[in-house]
Amino acid sequence: MIFKLVGDGRPYPDHGLTHREWAQIPPRQVRLDSLITTKAMLDLHSLLAADSTFYGDLFPHVVQWQGDLYLEDGLHRALRAALHQRSILHARVLELPN
């Protein structure tokens, strides 16, 4: 199993963070098997592209809400890590109040 669950949508309230505000959150290690995805579909072209992280944040965005970790952005990077047999991912984690 790669992820804890494969979700489709964001069950947590809108946080309204901008890319600049996400960049202020220091990355930390997160286990892939503790993540719940917020996207059920992915584009293989993006997954396999050599420059897939060129235009975005180098670190995936994770929202911690009600004790769960939701992978909001970075599904392709997380899958790439899994394909390289890594169980841990460095991500920016936003902790939302319950």
> Is pLDDT of 14 > 70?
yes
Q: Which residues contact 22 (CB under 8 A, 6 or more apart)?
A: 57, 61, 92, 94
Domain containing 77 equals: 1-9+22-41+55-92
Mean pLDDT of the chain: 88
Residue 33 pLDDT > 90: yes
59 occurs within a structural domain: yes
Q: Does residue 17 lie within any of the structural domains?
A: no
For Cα atoms 79, 69, 60, give the angle at the middle one, nearest 5 degrees: 45
H or E segment and range at residue 72: strand 68-73
- Nearest alpha-carbon partner for 9 in 38, 34, 35, 51: 38
In-domain check, residue 15:
no
Residue 97 lies in a domain: no
Report whether pLDDT(43) > 80: no
Give tens-digit pLDDT for 47-83. Answer: 666 655 555 668 999 999 999 999 999 888 898 899 8
Whether residue 81 lies inside any domain: the answer is: yes
What's the predicted TM-score (pTM) here? 0.87
How many domains is the chain partitioned into structurally? 1
